[in-house]
Copies of this chain bind each other. A is one copy, B any other.
Amino acid sequence: MRIAVVGMGIIGGSFCKAIKKHTDHYVIGINRTQATLKKALADGAIDEIGDEKSLSSADIIILALYPGAAVEYVERNGEYIKKGAIVTDSAGIKADICPKLKALSEKFGFKFVGSHPMAGKETNGYVSSDGDLYNGASYIIVPCGADGEAVKTLSSLAVDIKFGMVKITTPEEHDRMIAFTSQLPHVLACAYVLSPCCKNHVGFSAGSYRDVSRVANINAELWSELFMENREPLIAELDTLIDNIHAITDAVKASDTDRIKELLNKAHKTKEELGE
């Protein structure tokens, strides 16, 4: 297959590298900054430097852009996409952009299958991309009405490039779960390091500080966009989190050791039942 990857950041660059590493597919790289494409070509991450006109030769198009930019890109360049080609995004939110991309797929005659590779790093850009970034990670597919064959093609590609599992779901379930698994930890890590104590932690900290604070090294631009685009599910999870922190805090304030123990045990059991 000929696969076009649009956007040479960490996500797109990692797709290119993983596809070249694990499959025989032909990879066309498309990116605003040409220097990055030259680097990717020199690295063997792509077979060809492309532009919007190259879209017409692609069987699969992976959009690795910010959510809003992915929709704009297809609005602008949809006419170049081959009829029947599979187009997927990589966006971290689905309910907002999937219907837009679905509508564009009907307008331009391609097959849209939403997807979200569950991997990342604290650092960004092509320089952080890695052919092993997706090893063992989950690849979430949001079919949005696409035919089973298109879903199967994308799902096989994910397995071929070493994703550890493919999860098929709806845009709404995706966004509700992602609010919990991804956005909430980012809010929580940021809120945590905003304590005035944080700057003096060295010498007093160990693994729990390191792990809980890790994702506070955040891309504020990207994540404020993700938060806003998944506003409702995120607010619901934030309210639940605040309630649960209040429950523990109230028990500590009331010196109610039994209640603290009960809440901590409930958390412990949750992790234990998950085998974590």
* A positions within 8 Å CB-CB of B: 118-120, 137-138, 140, 165, 167, 169, 174, 176-182, 184-209, 211-221, 223-225, 227-228, 231, 234-235, 237-242, 244-249, 252-253, 255, 257, 260-261, 263-268, 270-274, 276
Contact = CB atoms under 8 A, between A and B. Distances in A.
A135 to B, nearest CB: 12
Contact of A212 (B189, B218, B257, B267): B189
A11 to B, nearest CB: 12
A241 B245 contact: yes
Nearest to A267: B190
A224 B261 CA distance: 6
Q: Is the interface of A mostly helix, strand, loop or mixed?
A: helix
B185 A208 contact: yes
Contacts of A197: 176-177, 179-181, 237
B177 A264 contact: no
A195 to B, nearest CB: 5
B252 A234 contact: yes
A252 to B, nearest CB: 6
B192 A274 contact: no
Given A167-B203, A245-B245, 18 more contacts: A138-B202, A177-B200, A180-B197, A180-B204, A182-B205, A182-B206, A182-B209, A190-B244, A191-B244, A191-B267, A194-B240, A198-B274, A212-B212, A220-B261, A227-B252, A231-B252, A239-B249, A242-B249
Q: Which 3 residue pairs are nearest across A and B when measured between Cβ atoms?
A: A167-B203, A190-B267, A191-B244
B198 A192 contact: no
Contacts of A235: 249, 252-253
A253 B239 CA distance: 11
